[in-house]
Amino acid sequence: MSAITAQKRESTEDRRAAIAIAARELIVEKGVEGLRTREIADRVGINIATLHYHVPTKEALIGLVAETLKTEFRAQSLLRPRAHLSAVERLEHELYDFREMYNEQPEIIAVMGELSERSRRDPLIKAAIAPMQGMWHRMVADIMAAGRTEGSFRPDLDPEPAATIFVGALIAFGRSGDLSNDTYERLCAELRRFVRHPDSSKD
């Protein structure tokens, strides 16, 4: 690959990243309804034609935002490999990852919460984020099933509904007005009690 081709590719990726960041900032500040192409272009420092070259439609813009969120979630997960861990340890990783995200990158939680809320009424947004939501739900359901098999979680635990409760509780926390660590620790304690085996020796 020539130096010119590499530079062009890097420039395109950087420009798309800048567009995604500007769009995410607007979603945090004004909600999805506040997404305006002219304001995004102004924040990135490009004209409307250049913006439309990279994201020609609203669907493309939402898709780009969703893809950047997915990339950041994946990068966070890769920092701490967990496939070899017990179900209890893997669930703790999920709780830790969420706390790390809302402490260090709260705008990501805010954007995801806004998109999730709007997805109930906007099929375009739903199509963009449903795969990401489904992947998270399946991963947590797998942890629930593994914990039941290992004997560390309740023997009557139903993995799919349990994953819905777990994921829903974290999303609800992210949308709440109280994001203190104390409130989050109390929530985590309840979620642990919800899934863990009643026999403490199973820990």
Q: Is the pTM of this model over 0.85?
A: no
- The CA-based angle 172-135-177, given to 5 degrees, is 15
Pair 4, 97 in one domain: no
Neighbour-count burial of 140, counting CB atoms closer than 10 A to its CB (0-12 exposed, 13-18 middle, 19+ buried) = buried
Pair 4, 99 in one domain: no
Range of the domain at 50: 1-56
User: How confident is the model at residue 10, as a pLDDT?
Assistant: 46
Domain at 19, CATH number: 1.10.10.60
Contacts of 136 (CB under 8 A, 6+ apart): 73, 167
Pair 74, 26 in one domain: no
Domain at 80, CATH number: 1.10.357.10
CB–CB of 76/87 below 8 Å? Answer: no
List pLDDT tens digits, range 92-140.
999 999 999 888 888 888 898 889 888 888 999 999 999 989 999 999 9
